[in-house]
Amino acid sequence: MPTPTAATQLLRTRIGKVCVAITGTTAVEMIEKASTVVKETPFLEFRLDYLDKPLNAIPKLKQFFADNTAATGIATCRREENGGKFTGTLAAEMEILCKAAVSGFHIVDVELESAEALKKGELQKLRDTGVALIISHHDFTATKDLDKIYERMAPFQPDLYKIVPTAKNLSDNVTLMRFMERMRDEANIIGICMGDAGIISRVLGLRAGSAFTFAAATPGEETGPGQIAARTLIETYRIDQVDAATKVYGVAGNPIRSSLSPIMMNTAFRRETVNAVYLALQTAKVSDLLKLVQEMPIQGLSVTMPHKQEIMAHLEKTDPLSAKIGACNTVLRAQDGKLYGFNTDVAGIIGPLEKRMSLRGAKALVLGAGGAARAAVFGLRDKGADVFILNRTADTAQKLARQSGSKTIKKEAVAKTEFDVIINATPIGMAGQKAAPLLEGKDLNTKLVFDLVYNPLETPLIRLARQQSIPFITGVEMFVQQGARQFEIWTGKPAPEEEMLRVVIHSLRQQAEAAASESSQEPDKTAGTKRKKAS
């Protein structure tokens, strides 16, 4: 390993595991945010390229470091062509970074492209100020040859190499982490994959050898695609405690961004002192998921849309329920390394219903014919209910009806038929889904409505039921029930159901409040031009 510079040795005593990116269009705005963050996380990156006048802001930032001697600061002024916001010349970028270097900043970040374009000796002027140097490279399209990027950086002998590709699939995280593991003794590398599929590298990168990771100051202030808020990284993912013994679990599906499984399961792990972390695994392909499971290795999975049926073919064995339904939502890696499947969706659906009604002989309408619908249909039939299926694709509904001994029903017949319960097992009404509802108010000829969608708390279907004074069950009850059973399968411990329910409801209420606040500010947003986000 190269001999550490004085700057590098000093840094090792100062930097933490999480560096929080601070943005703002004025120095006052930046300092206000930094002053709040520094109390909890003293390692900060100031994105000078976000400022309208970076040079004018530096004296104020110098004062911030004089007032906050425990703070460690990175100065970044990324040019537009390299994914930043700075529209000035290379010479202007270097002037800003040199001024920052003598104004209290401890580290400066220079893009690889800028370093390569500088004349010989110009980078040395920056280093002569005594700051540590990061040479960074961002690829906003893919994860390519990381060794080649490192070879381009090496001649500049930076104190830290920042290599940030984009994860197009889950396996790209493995590529980056294997690279960092190989280079651990060679150089100080900061490695992160951008994008929704890159969350693995943001949480587990430290374990693979990343010098630190980056986080947003608050949700909505991300400086790169897929960046996580600092509080979420520290409190939900407990990044400070992730070590070689930490078991990794995750929820796999597409889309996965709005899933509350990570906050629910990580809360349960923390409450029961289980050394484990639970991640959102965004993937469109089961083959990509399986590669990650083998490479990581992943100890257990929650499987959601659209993979519940396809995953079945890749499991060593499943419980009789999963085999009967043809869909699995829970995977456990046994000590022999083989994957075993279970279905906890049925318990999540039947449990809440049996608290409210007898299912033997009950007349039930199930909307949908996918994995969740199959769990509902087979679970209800097993309890002796008379089940009707309504699905946009009639063939899929007829197949499920034949397999389960149920009946299909046409949309126009629903309003004329009395049901004991109507269950929505489609994603219609889910946050981010645009599909039109299957039923209207006049169709709710039922004693009870159960919507398996849990986000938002009040779905369009639940709102219809409320308006007509029909009793209802929200998807939160099903979500927590099935999650609690998964926790027990994986850990062998009783699940802290009350705590799991509390954190899910709290998160959903926060989201609803944020959405309401955002919609109330809509006219203000259109008045000004919105600055685009960049890493």
Tens digits of residue pLDDT in 29-39? 999 999 999 99
Q: What is the 3-state secondary structure (H, E, C) of 412-447?
A: HHHCCCCECEEEECCCCCCCCCCCCCCCCHHHCCEC
| CA nearest to 365, candidates 454, 470, 472, 449 | 449
Q: Tokens 């990570």 — which residue? A: 262
Which of 27-31, 296-300, 498-502, 518-522 is the least confident region?
A: 518-522
Tell me the pLDDT tens digit for each residue of 403-461. 999 999 999 999 999 999 999 999 999 887 888 899 999 999 999 999 999 999 899 99
| Spatial contact of 134 and 74, defined as CB atoms under 8 Å apart | yes
User: pLDDT category, 519, cuts 50, 70, 90?
Assistant: confident
pLDDT level of residue 79 (50, 70, 90 thresholds): very high
Domains 6-244 and 346-480 share a fold: no
The pLDDT value recorded for residue 15 is: 87
CA distances 222 to 80, 194, 215, 411, Å, are: 17, 11, 8, 44
Lowest-pLDDT choice from 64-68, 138-142, 192-196, 507-511 = 507-511
- Give the per-residue SS3 of 328-393: CCEEEECCCCCEEEECCHHHHHHHHHHCCCCCCCCEEEEECCCHHHHHHHHHHHHCCCEEEEECCC
SS3 484: helix
The model's pLDDT over 154-188, given as tens digits with 9 standing for 90+, comes to: 999 999 999 999 999 999 999 999 999 999 999 99
Residue 340: left if φ>0, alpha if ψ -120 to 50, beta else—which one? beta
User: Would you call the peptide bond into 4 cis, given omega within 30 degrees of 0 as the criterion?
Assistant: no
Tell me the percentage of the chain whose pLDDT exceeds 70. 95
Determine the pLDDT at residue 105: 97
Q: Which tokens sit at 148?
A: 């080649």
pLDDT at 3: 47
* Mean pLDDT for all residues in the chain: 93
User: 161: closest CA among 140, 136, 131?
Assistant: 136
User: So what's the pLDDT on residue 520?
Assistant: 75
What does the pLDDT read at residue 85? 97
Three-state secondary-structure class, residue 68: coil
Which tokens in the block code for residue 340?
A: 């075993």
Q: What is the band of 530 on the pLDDT scale with cuts at 50, 70, 90? A: very low
| Interval 367-408: pLDDT, tens | 999 989 999 999 999 999 999 999 999 999 999 999 999 999
Report pLDDT for 526.
40
Cα 284 from Cα 360, distance rounded (Å): 38
Write down the pLDDT at residue 531. 37
What is the pLDDT at residue 144? 96
Q: How far apart are CA 86 and CA 84, in angstroms?
A: 6
Query: What does the pLDDT average to over 224-246?
Result: 95
CA 299 to chain centroid, in Å, comes to 18
3-state DSSP assignment of residue 250: strand
Q: Which residue has the higher pLDDT, 286 or 255?
A: 286
Nearest by Cα to 24 from 230, 228, 223: 223
Does residue 10 surpass a pLDDT of 80? no
CB 162 within 8 Å of CB 137? yes
Task: Note whether 423 and 452 are within 8 A (CB).
Answer: yes
Q: In the chain, what's the furthest Cα-to-Cα distance?
A: 84
Query: Residue 522: what pLDDT?
Result: 61
Could you list the active site residues? 308
Q: Is 510 exposed, middle or buried (0-12, 13-18, 19+ CB in 10 A)?
A: exposed
The number of residues in the chain equals 535
pLDDT at 116 over 80: yes
Q: What is the pLDDT of residue 528?
A: 39
CB distance 420 to 362 below 8 Å: yes
* Phi, then psi, of 51 in degrees rounded to 5: -75, 145
> If DSSP codes are grouped into helix, strand and coil, which group holds residue 114?
helix
CATH number of 346-480: 3.40.50.720
Q: How confident is the model at residue 255 (pLDDT cuts 50, 70, 90)?
A: confident
* Residue 339 contacts residue 299 (beta carbons within 8 Å): no
For the chain, domain boundaries: 6-244, 346-480
Assigned CATH class of 6-244: alpha beta
Residue 256 structure tokens: 């996965």
